């Protein structure tokens, strides 16, 4: 069971989190990806949350549909029925909460207004998923807002500067995301000293990697890179192919 997952003992193995539901396993953020990731033995599913024009929370990473189906319109400009006609695999937040049960679920919130965050928290609570949910937020202000809305929900800081760790903790964050390139022992230790757990996102913060370490786009990693991450003993690792963490190592 995933109850208490985000407050687990820090001396256990890292949690395996399926990024975008397990984007290497099936269409990203789809029920098929969630189910395949679950069958592979993940601890949690990560997915993205945006709002449709008619106010429905849906699990779509990009602000528009250009990459997914060649339609340049924004998710926020389309109602759910239209989105489903363009992208049949689209998942609502309610669908994702149901399909991920009993695993943990990390929600990367692509929203910025207090009322929208309050809606997400309400939806999570109504689905009885509060104790297995981790809310990912991208600003100190939103972390503070969310903590004021709920004393109980677990919060992950998706911030772009690890130097913000102390401020994130003061605002109410429980976890801090480090990109693979930042994930050094010193930075990881600083996050822990601030009072938070460490989640490492593999790859670079972009869809097309630049010629620098790590040489992969967001979500992708090789075995060498994964071993380097494991060496700093993070509390969780996000990756497109969670089987790299969950399947037994084959000796040759």
Active-site residue list: 19, 61
**Rounded Cα–Cα distance for residues 216 and 210 (Å):** 8
CA distance 40 to 97: 18
Residues 6 or more apart in contact with residue 225 via CB below 8 angstroms: 180, 202, 214, 216
- 75, 60 Cβ separation under 8 angstroms: yes
- Cα separation, 124 vs 233, whole angstroms: 30
Identify which of 221, 225, 224 has the alpha carbon closest to the alpha carbon of residue 239: 221
Residue 183 CA to residue 231 CA, distance in Å, equals 10
Strand runs labelled E in the chain:
15-18, 44-51, 57-58, 64-65, 71-74, 104-109, 133-137, 154-157, 175-179, 197-201, 236-239
How many other β-carbons are positioned within 10 Å of the β-carbon of residue 163?
Answer: 9
Beta carbons of 176 and 157 less than 8 angstroms apart = yes
CA distance 28 to 41: 17
Q: Which two tokens stand for residue 61?
A: 């990473």
């Amino acid at each position: 069971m995933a109850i208490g997952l985000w407050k687990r003992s820090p001396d256990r193995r890292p949690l395996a989190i399926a990024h975008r539901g397990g984007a290497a396993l099936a269409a990203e953020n789809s029920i098929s990806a969630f189910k395949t990731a679950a069958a592979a033995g993940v601890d949690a599913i990560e997915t993205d949350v945006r709002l449709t024009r008619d106010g429905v929370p849906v699990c779509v990473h990009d602000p528009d549909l250009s990459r997914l189906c060649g339609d340049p319109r924004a998710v926020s400009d389309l109602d759910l029925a239209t989105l489903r006609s363009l992208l049949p695999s689209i998942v609502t937040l309610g669908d994702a909460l149901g399909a991920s049960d009993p695993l943990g679920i990390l929600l990367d919130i692509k929203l910025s207004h207090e009322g929208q965050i309050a809606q997400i928290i309400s939806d999570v609570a109504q689905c009885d998923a509060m104790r297995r949910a981790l809310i990912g937020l991208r600003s100190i202000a939103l972390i503070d807002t969310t903590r004021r809305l709920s004393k109980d929900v677990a919060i992950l800081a998706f911030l772009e500067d690890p130097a913000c760790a102390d401020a994130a903790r003061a605002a109410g964050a429980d976890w801090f995301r480090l990109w693979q390139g930042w994930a050094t022992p010193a930075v990881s230790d600083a996050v822990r000293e601030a009072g938070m757990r460490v989640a490492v996102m593999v790859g670079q913060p972009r869809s097309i990697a630049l010629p620098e370490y790590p040489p992969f786009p967001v979500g992708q990693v090789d075995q060498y890179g994964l071993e380097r991450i494991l060496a700093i003993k993070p509390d969780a690792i996000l990756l497109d192919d969670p089987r790299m963490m969950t399947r037994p190592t084959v000796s040759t």
